[in-house]
Structure 1
Amino acid sequence: MAEAHRPPSPSAPPAGIPSSRAEMAGERLSWRDILLRSRRGLVSGLALVLILGMGVAGYQATWRQELGQVRSNADHRLDLFASAVEGMLNRLEHVPATIQLNRDVVALLRPRSGPVSTDAVNSFLQRLNQQLGSLAVYVIDERGRVVAASNASEPGSFVGEDLSFRPYFIEALSGQVGRHFAIGNTSKQPGYYLANPIRDGERVIGVAVIKISLSPLAQAWGMLGVPAFIADDNNVIILSSQPEWLYQIVGEPDLDKLVDFQIRQLYVDRRPQRFGASEQLLQAHEAAGAKGVLLTGQPLGARLGRQVLAQAQELPKMRWRLWVFTDVDQAGRHAFTVGVLSAIAAAFVALLWLALEQRQRIVRDKLAARHMLEQANAELESKVARRTSALAQTNERLRREVAERVQAELTLREAQDELVQAAKLAVVGQMSAGITHEITQPLGAIRTLAGNSQAFLARDDLDTVRSNLGLITRLADQMGEIVQSLKGFARKAPPQPQTTDLAQAVHNALLLFMARIRADDVTLVNDCQEGLAQAWCEPNRLEQVIVNLIGNALDAMRGQPLRVLRLHTLLIEQDGVNRVQLMVDDTGSGLTPELHGRLFAPFFTTKPHGHGLGLGLAISRDIIRSFQGDLRADNHAGGGARFTIELPERHPHETPLTAP
């Protein structure tokens, strides 16, 4: 049959219209297309570079601005705190110089002087210390021994101590003002020491010292608001907002320094350890004009963040250095946010530009596509006209072919019915000899009994005549039953499915084979009981299938020493539907695998040439399947073959089945 012509799918483009621009150009790219694509790639690359550049520029500008603001604020706090430190410590700067104005102090230090009251000097120093609010005020002679002190009457008195090793004593003894941080040997209390020489004329005869408490400085860290520390002229941290930083050295604690610390006992028994960020702080301080450095990588611990701005302020009079540390992670995050927003803004502008460019390109493409579509539409109309004519011719051929196929199917059904009838008549022909024998014997007996009856009637022996007539009637009924079964089997009638008793169908089929069963000395075992198994089928066609199976079974047992034909039924339930089975067993040679695979193939037979067409089993299975059943062949355990007919059992709600 010729293939039908179908109209194009609505989703597909009409025939003759290219589905893409590449197809319009014949799948070939021109130099213009190549240059256009290269331009688009270049524009996309430049847009990406612009977006990244805007993001980086926004980040760097914001970072510089934020860092400058942080540095400015920190510088302001640093200056204020440095002024506060100098004010606290230098307010008593001139006090030691006034102690030599007391004549008792000079007299106490003057050599070869007369007896002087030490108590008067101690009392003077005590009153002075109380007035100033310092930790201690004391006087040292030129040999470095404390001769008078404000705490002379207290348990931890300095009187009698040898302080010749103290740097401030050495500086004051040389005529200079001594300034030093140290931890007291007796009190173990840190303090800031101011020392002035005491002169007798031009000669330095002693040193006046005042010790100032550093507690007010420790309480002033809050005004900075950030971590900070103060390092002395030895780069040792003597004051810090972080207690764990105290007495660490900014730099490498070499052996000479450690020995010097032990000799001068500035830090008593403490041995300064290296500060964690020493190297970066020293590099920042040594850099020319640098007042701050950015430390990265959490140099001062996780508490201060990953980036810290370190700034220093010199305290020249004390020869100290004040360091403050400001966390700038927040500024970095703000700069990063601004950079991301700048990149997003640039991306938005780039996307807007690309959208406009894309819109213009789409408009150009639409105009070009409209022109090409008009051309294609003209070509399509001509093609549609041609193909419509061809489609009409094809449809006409299809109608003729459909009519021919319907007629062929009707012819096939008629041929199948004729083939079924021919098979039935062939079976009748094969059984004609046995049926003739079955009818001939009763006819001979009837003839004999009729003759005898005439003779007995002449003798008035009515009882014998009545007995002979009864025998004649029974023999006539027997012949009528055989003829009726043969007529029912051989008649040609349309299939009408109905409730059929399998036992009755088996009985009608066996009537046709009784003469052959007796002649072949076959043992018949019929376990089918009437009313036990009801099936939904056409009785006449079911009898035809049973006749075919019994005939095949008798043929299979020919020449076998044991010949037993057994028929029995079985009720089963399959997928919630009641079904009945009829099994036909024989004691033949059984089914080989090769024979089993081809058993139901049309025109396959194991009988000699001229004794069968090989259509019996194929037709039988088609008949059973037309009633929604099945016909199977297997070998059973007792030897021989078993053919099983399985049919549905009729229920009241079932609709009668229609066989082909």
Structure 2
Amino acid sequence: MALRRALLALVALALVAASGYAVYQRSFAQGASSLKAASNGRLDLFASVVEARVRRLEPVPATIQLNPAVLRLLQAPGAAHAAAANDYLSRLNAHLGSLAVFVLDVRGVVLASSNAVQRDDSLRGEDVSYRPYFLEALAGRSTRHFAIGSGGYAGYFASHPIYDGPRVVGVAAIKIGLDALEQTWPMLGAPALVADANQVVILSSQPAWRYTSLAPLPTERRVDLQLAQTYDSLRLPLFPLKVELSVDEDTQEVQGLLHGDEAKVSAALGQARNRADFMVLGRSLDGMDWRVLIFTSLASVRHQALLDGVGGAVSVAFVILLALYWAQRQRIERQKLGAKRLLEQANAELEQEVGRRTQELTDANTLLRKEVAEREQTEKTLRAAQDGLVHAGKMAVLGQLAASITHELTQPLGAIRTLSGNAAEFLRRGNADAAQENLLIMARLVEQMARIIDPLKSFSRKSTACPEATDAGRVVEQALFLFQLRLRHEKVEADNRCQPGQWTVWCDANRLEQVLINLIGNALDALRDAPHKRLQITAEALPAAQPPVLAIHVQDSGKGLSETDLAHLFQPFYTTKASGAGLGLGLVICRDIAAEFQGELQAHNVPGGGACFTLTVPLWQASMHPKTPVTP
């Protein structure tokens, strides 16, 4: 009897311990999952902040070559050109809020810098040809990476080659400061770090972790880093904690484990010895080869799991004690009444009740797991949709900017190619005057290309036009001149009835010429497959309009425009050309330019076949401005 009681006691103790352990494990798993979800949310926010503050300035070096002062400095280095370039880079750097913007020649010598008047971090005149951002850009590739610059200031460098035609003549680079990211550590609420592609810690909420290596660097890699002075002269010791990381290729999530002595881990993380229990989570930053790691303490989760386990064990012990008390009572009653059968029936009923409740609990647990799985799937779907919308918005903005610049530079570049061919032919024939005239026109077109970027920055924010008294016939003549080679090659009969000296209009001459070039180019495209190719340009005054305007008609003998074309002609990205031949932005931009000088652009079909585009421009009046020499 005593042995039986001892065995029952051991079984009860084992059941209590197993129940407490099961509740502990379950509570710990749920707590760790909740903590992981919260930490991942903070990591996503932090990763977004890092990418927004660091990567927003990466495209800047690609735009520096558009400034004429920079290209002149690389073509003819000198103090005068350097001063203009330094002034432009200084203003650009002040507007962007970066640490420095500088330009290097093909030898790696800094010719111009935004900090040229400062001693720290200027680099002007220094040779930085050993830097990877220079070597990559010199090879024609845009690059970006972390490095410690001169003066010991760390930053994120982005560079882009500068072209003069097909030849790389220099490198533009920008240094982006990382000090602003130090203010974002509190949002993580735990020790954290940022490691670069070399697995070197470049940013951390723990100063002792900075510039340590998460993994041993091979000797060859250390030599390369020292030659490039990526981390200046730092020795890069190993990270004080042993961390094993694994990366999910689909979600780019990073998970890791901490190894080593508990006291060492606690000291490195600034925690008490009995709280050295941490979960390592991270993110790989898109396009930067950086990783963000956060060390989240599991002490609160483990403490709560311990309380739940103790509570579960106490509950089971209470149930066991209750069962024992009931059995003892039944035994006493059985002994008193001698009703062994009733005691067995009571035990059977008790077992049936326990089974029923166990089944209910099992069903409830199954339903709860299903709901948790559905919520996790919903969260993943929502996160994927949000990422897609953000990516689509970024690509839309980049696409519009690239499309606008490409379209507006096509015609001037074609004209320069035509004029350069004419100049070469004139020089071969010994006609230096004609060649000089073509070269002067080419210089004017280059200046015009430099100003194209102002009206193309966006459709909603345009530069202020500079109207003046302009000879409309001269502008038409110059626009047709740019297409002389194409007119002869395609055998198009051009009839220009708007001659110089007939009409004086009030507008910006360069913008009027830009609109006419686009309309003439479109007309020539429409005549490509026409049996009879005829281009006619006429003009007529409309004095009844308020204010009086000059209507310039550009008419072709092509197949004309369909009803659908007429309905959508001035909508962005709608084009009647074949796929890849047009972007659908030319007429939209031309209409906006016409509206700037109070004009209009309309289109209609003409009897007999063909389309006609009518551009109205205000006529010059003495009340507008004293008449100045009329030049296009």
If the length of structure 1 is used for normalisation, what is the TM-score?
Answer: 0.47
Larger C-alpha radius of gyration, 1 or 2? 1
Q: TM-score, normalised by structure 2?
A: 0.49
